[in-house]
Amino acid sequence: PTRRSEPGSILKPMSQAEMKMYETYRDNARPDVGVEQRQGSPIIGLKNFNNWVKSVLISRFALPALQASPYMGGNVPGRGSGKILDMGCGKGGDLNKWSKARVKELLAVDVASVSVDQARARWEGMKGHRYAASFASLDCYREPLSKAFSSHQLALPFDVVSMQFCMHYAFETEEKACRMLDNVSRWLRPGGIFIGTIPNAEQLLEHLHELPSDIDELSFGNSIYRIRFDEREHHGVYGHKYCFFLKDAIEDVPEYLVIWDNFVQLASKYDLQPIYKEEFHQVFDKNQEHQDFGPLLTRMGVVDANGESAMDEDQWEAANIYVAFAFQKQ
């Protein structure tokens, strides 16, 4: 089967740059399979759980910043409030969450134009609260945001910047991490919120250092995920590469460790101060009985009506690779 922009497609050939991104982010170039097929995924419990964590993060940190937006006249019922930047938006998996948060305007950007097209199409077909949205494709770790959006689009600062499951790709080099943070902070209002989800580098390093010294391959994982490092020791805080495989989602993609203390130090140069960091298991433990987030676990298919988890042990272990964070702009 041919897909628009896929190698071999007769509809729209890919540029060389796009081809490179296709190879790097194959997960991203997967077909947009639709709800029915997604429900049949062997890791649907894990996917639902990741979505639930993002919903909790948005409710706890993004929502207050959107509602307090000085630019949209507060939270006028029905009208929406605040402006958000979804950087590394992928196929637009969070568009509905922003609708539920009743945002007024969204700018979404991703390096993979195939995904951006899918995100735009998803927004066009979206039901529920409608907000204004602009979509653009850009390498946000090499280029300034102003290359993708006009000064008019950026004139009003963001209340929230969201980077879900994508920031760690910037930590290949210091230059990329700096460009990424500049893009996060430059158009974020003082008091605005930066939220994200990244792999827990400290935990991955612990696993790596626990591996026996005489094995050939520096890898660990289970039936759902596998992480493979090239080197046991790495000097410096950028470019510590590993390959990540996640069943039915990510096919052995190179990623980079985000050493938390270094990230915090670098972010402070961009006037961003940490206000929250938790492992995904902690997010679950602390919010499973919450009056809103508890019932949301059932509605989002993380647990069934009897309270049974939709995730088996291996999915649960894979879920805890990640941490959720929030920063505030000074």
Interface contacts to ligand SAM, rule CB under 6 A: 25, 27-28, 88-90, 93, 110-112, 115, 139-141, 164-166, 169
195: which strand partners? 162, 326
Q: Which is nearer to ligand SAM, 72 or 83 (CB)?
A: 83
Give just the sign of the alpha carbon dihedral 147, 153, 158, 83.
Answer: negative
Partners of 199 in beta bridges: 322
Give the CA distances from residue 246 to residues 26, 169, 326, in Å, rounded to whole numbers and listed in that order.
12, 16, 25
Minimum distance of ligand SAM from residue 112's CB (angstroms): 4
Rounded least distance, CB 196 to ligand SAM, Å: 9
Is the CB of 72 or the CB of 324 nearer to ligand SAM? 324
Q: How far is the CB of 240 from ligand SAM (least distance, A)?
A: 17
Smallest distance, ligand SAM to C-beta of residue 106, A: 13
| Minimum separation from the CB atom of position 254 to ligand SAM (A) | 11
Interacting residues of 91 by C-beta distance below 8 A, sequence separation 6+? 28, 32, 115, 118, 119, 122
Q: In angstroms, give the least distance from the CB of 115 to ligand SAM.
A: 5
Cα 184 to Cα 108, 159, 270: the distances in Å are 12, 11, 9
Name residues whose C-beta falls within 8 Å of residue 306's C-beta, 6 or more positions apart in sequence. Answer: none
Q: Are 138 and 108 in contact (CB under 8 A)?
A: no
Asked whether the beta carbons of 140 and 179 are under 8 A apart, the reply is: yes
User: Residue 88 or residue 221: which is nearer to ligand SAM going by CB?
Assistant: 88
Q: CB 209 → ligand SAM: shortest distance, Å? A: 26
Strands (E), 20-142: 83-87, 105-110, 132-137
Identity of the residue, 72 or 112, whose beta carbon is nearer to ligand SAM in the bound complex: 112
Measured from the CB atom, is 51 or 69 closer to ligand SAM? 51
Query: For residues 139 and 271, which CB has a smaller minimum distance to ligand SAM in the complex?
Result: 139
Q: Which is closer to ligand SAM, CB of 7 or CB of 73?
A: 7
In the block, residue with structure tokens 């602390």: 286
Residue nearest to ligand SAM (CB): 90
CA distance to 13, 19, 75, 205, per residue, from 241 (Å): 31, 21, 43, 11
> Smallest gap, in angstroms, from Cβ of residue 305 to ligand SAM?
27
d(CA 5, CA 311): 34
User: Residue 116 or residue 267: which is nearer to ligand SAM going by CB?
Assistant: 116
Please check whether residue 120 is in contact with residue 135, taking contact to mean a CB–CB distance below 8 angstroms.
yes
